[in-house]
């Protein structure tokens, strides 16, 4: 019967309905709230009325922030099982490409200068073609000053750089240890592949295809005693972002979480000692729990801003349905902390002085 109904719909609308149904099926195991969200865009076109979850209460007397830098987690799926992950595979939904482009265009109109694509693992979707097309769209069509990706690096191939490297400003690779046994303990094991060896290969490809190279490390109980100075200096990234392991209720803590990160948590003192050990690494950019929690604009797979002020991710309504200004009011974004932590920096490779 459903196929009969779809047969009478315009092709574009039928595709949107099918994409929405896929999203609904993937979310069945994760509660009723996500079920209506994939249908929001279809509802808007068709006039169908569905109740949507209430957004978190808006903070009063606050100006509407500008979405200067946005982190778009377009997928939650990942091929790794990092024990401290704070954006876990609770759905398999991914917006149709054209809907994602529409949302990105709205963000550009609202003042976005930098987009960072993350996950999950961004290169899982269509073997990197999905994120590649978004990267090219943001640079060619939207002409954003900065387009970046955060990836574990395990699925990136040189052919991707050949096709899309010119449109990418920064590639950030997650690397929490230069000891392969520690990587396996954390959940970054690749079977017979070596995460650290792959990191060096990606570094060379970034040189070959003129992409700025960045490293992200989550400091936790398994790597807090490690000395990474020599390895980081040898790789020479433009930035080494060092995060303190963060607990997010519903993601890596609590009854409804897919990860239990308690055994990974370190104290503020432990984190400070790690930073002190690496104080002479010039590219080091430290981020404690306090700096991280409210200083990022996070957009989920439904293009909802995620408010982390209460220690869990509370979604706004989708920008595709209510617009950027209405949705961002519920983001919990602390623009002052964003600037204080150095969130705005030289992020376009055209402005960087790099030895490719």
Concerning whether 245 is annotated as a catalytic residue, the answer is: no
CB atoms within 10 A of CB 134: 24
Give the CA count within 13 Å in the CB-facing half-sphere of 239: 26
Q: Which two tokens stand for residue 319?
A: 């920008």
Q: Of the residues 29, 78, 206, 308, which is catalytic?
A: 78
Residue 189, class by beta-carbon neighbours within 10 Å (0-12 exposed, 13-18 middle, 19+ buried)? middle
Q: Which residues pair with 286 in a beta bridge?
A: 242
Cβ-proximal residues to 196 (8 Å cutoff; 6+ apart), any chain: 175, 178, 180, 183
Concerning whether 78 is annotated as a catalytic residue, the answer is: yes
Q: Which two tokens stand for residue 302?
A: 């439904």
Q: Of the residues 48, 85, 138, 245, which is catalytic?
A: 85
Angle between helices 97-109 and 129-136 (to 10 degrees): 30
Nearest CA among 10, 38, 9 for reference residue 25:
38
Nearest CA among 70, 76, 74 for reference residue 95:
74
Concerning whether 138 is annotated as a catalytic residue, the answer is: no
Q: Of the residues 29, 48, 82, 283, which is catalytic?
A: 82
Distance CA 7, CA 2 (A): 9
Distance CA 86, CA 250 (A): 9
The set of catalytic residues is: 78, 82, 85
């Amino acid at each position: 019967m459903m196929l009969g109904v779809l047969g009478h719909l315009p092709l574009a609308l039928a595709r949107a309905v099918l994409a929405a149904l896929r999203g609904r099926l993937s979310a069945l195991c994760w509660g009723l709230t996500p079920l209506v969200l994939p249908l929001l865009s279809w509802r808007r076109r068709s006039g169908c009325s569905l109740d949507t979850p209430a957004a978190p209460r808006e903070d009063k007397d606050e100006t509407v922030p500008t979405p200067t830098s946005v982190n778009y987690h377009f997928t939650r799926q990942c091929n790794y099982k990092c024990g401290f992950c704070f954006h876990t595979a609770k759905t398999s939904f991914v917006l149709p490409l054209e809907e994602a482009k529409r949302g990105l265009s709205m963000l550009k109109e609202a003042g976005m200068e930098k987009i960072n694509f993350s996950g999950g693992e961004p290169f899982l979707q269509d073997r990197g073609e999905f994120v590649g097309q978004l990267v090219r769209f943001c640079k060619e069509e939207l002409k954003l000053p900065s387009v970046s990706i955060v990836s574990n690096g395990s699925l990136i191939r040189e052919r991707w750089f050949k096709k899309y490297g010119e449109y990418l400003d920064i590639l950030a690779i997650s690397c929490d240890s230069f000891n392969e046994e520690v990587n396996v303990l954390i959940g970054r094991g690749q079977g017979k592949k070596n995460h650290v060896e792959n990191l060096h290969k990606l570094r060379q490809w970034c040189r070959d295809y003129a992409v700025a190279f960045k490293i992200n490390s989550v400091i936790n109980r398994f790597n807090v005693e490690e000395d990474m100075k020599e390895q980081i200096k040898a790789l020479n990234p433009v930035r080494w972002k060092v995060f303190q392991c963060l607990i997010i209720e519903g993601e890596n803590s609590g009854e409804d979480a897919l990860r239990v990160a308690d055994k990974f948590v370190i104290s503020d003192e432990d984190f400070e000692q790690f930073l002190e050990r690496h104080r002479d690494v010039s590219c080091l950019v430290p981020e404690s729990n306090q700096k991280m929690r409210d200083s990022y604009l996070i957009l989920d797979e439904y293009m909802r801003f995620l408010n982390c002020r209460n220690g869990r991710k509370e979604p706004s309504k989708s920008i595709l349905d209510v617009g950027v200004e209405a949705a961002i009011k519920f983001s919990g974004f602390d623009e002052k902390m964003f600037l204080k932590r150095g969130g705005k920096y030289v992020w376009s490779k055209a402005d960087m002085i790099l030895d490719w």
